Structure 1
């Protein structure tokens, strides 16, 4: 029995376990994005937002009986580029308010000043364990062109999945 235990422990010792990081991934328009789970306070269904009559992307919503700032990250990231239809053949005007609210979520996180900030997203978030080897550098020319604003210099490259851009919240807030 001692021989089996020794062989078994040697075999497991030779296997190096790769470090993973927990990330929350989600869609905005047609792209995938991620945030480290440690930066997120909570994810809730998006309720009503108020105070953005000029469509600037800055509004407020109620969360736990207080108003918090809501920043439309889709608008910041894509520089006001027109939204493409994602979810069905229905147009935005044909969808009921409850349909719109059910499909959108609000990621709540703390700003650098420790204020709560809400970031609306277009899909239900997915938690993923991402290995260090899945993090890849974005090409420098892509970063210079600035096609997508507010992302870090790395993406998450998973098999059979489009690239996942990592958001840099300090650039968005």
Structure 2
């Protein structure tokens, strides 16, 4: 009897719509990015300056990903697609997103918007096209969502790879 109920449960799961996983969306200059909600340690609204942040006595490295990815691109504010969540446009107020990897290393990401909770189903996520990976030359952006009428493309950041990259840079000796 358990085999039959197991098959029935599996069929019912297939019929249930994919409600998606929760991500935190934020803007870096001209594009929108997401991190899984479990990767978020803290989100801090920024006023005038970037604070120095510590956790457990360690300084948290902060990276300006927008500058790293888009420093060569000139853009107008009208070029930026808006992200609408629950009928409200996500505000363009700077914030600091502190992400953690699986080994609890923390990295701060400077954002050009407030963070917003976004549900994305797994079937909306595709591998990052080579045109993006060649242009950006980073290995921590692994996939994206395709744009639709309700939302621009969202680029997914792998927090483990990001933390590894940032920690390697911050521990490398500075060249004189």
Is the TM-score greater than 0.5?
Answer: yes
TM-score bucket of the superposed structures, by smaller chain: 0.5 to 0.7
Consecutive unaligned residues in structure 1, runs of 5 or more: 1-12, 50-59, 88-101
List, as ranges, runs of 4+ consecutive aligned residues in structure 1 with deviation greater than 4 Å: 63-67
Residue 135 and residue 150 in structure 1: after superposition, are their counterparts in 2 closer, same or farther (change >3 A)? same
Please report how far the alpha carbon of residue 167 of structure 1 lies from its aligned counterpart in structure 2 after TM superposition: 1.5
Q: Give, in whole Å, the separation in 2 of the partners of 1:153 and 1:43.
A: 22
How far the C-alpha of 1:65 sits from its partner, in A, is 10
Give the Å deviation of 1:168: 2.7
Q: Which moved further from structure 2: 143-152 or 160-169?
A: 143-152
Question: How many correspondences in the alignment?
Answer: 136
Question: Contact 2:128 / 2:144 at 8 angstroms: preserved in 1?
Answer: yes
| TM-score (norm. length: structure 1) | 0.63
Q: CA deviation at 1:85?
A: 4.7
Across the aligned residues of Structure 1 and Structure 2, the Cα RMSD in angstroms comes to 3.2
CA drift of 1:17 comes to 2.6
**Aligned residue number for residue 153 of structure 1:** 142
> Matched residue of 1:149: which SS?
coil
Q: Is the 8 A contact 2:98 2:107 kept in 1?
A: yes
Q: C-alpha offsets along residues 82-113 of structure 1, whole Å, 9 cap, x if unaligned?
A: 564538xxxxxxxxxxxxxx821010123566
Change (3 A) 1:137 1:68: closer
Q: Which residue of 1 aligns with 2:86?
A: none
In the alignment, structure 2 segments of 5+ residues that lack a partner are 1-11, 79-91, 167-176
1:62 and 1:68 in contact (8 A); partners too:
yes
Q: Is 1:162 the equivalent of 2:152?
A: yes
Decide whether the 8 Å contact of 1:103 with 1:124 is kept in 2. yes
Aligned counterparts, 1:76-155, within 5 A:
76-78=68-70, 80-81=71-72, 84-86=75-77, 103-110=93-100, 114-139=104-129, 141-143=130-132, 145-147=134-136, 149-155=138-144
Shift of 1:155: 0.6
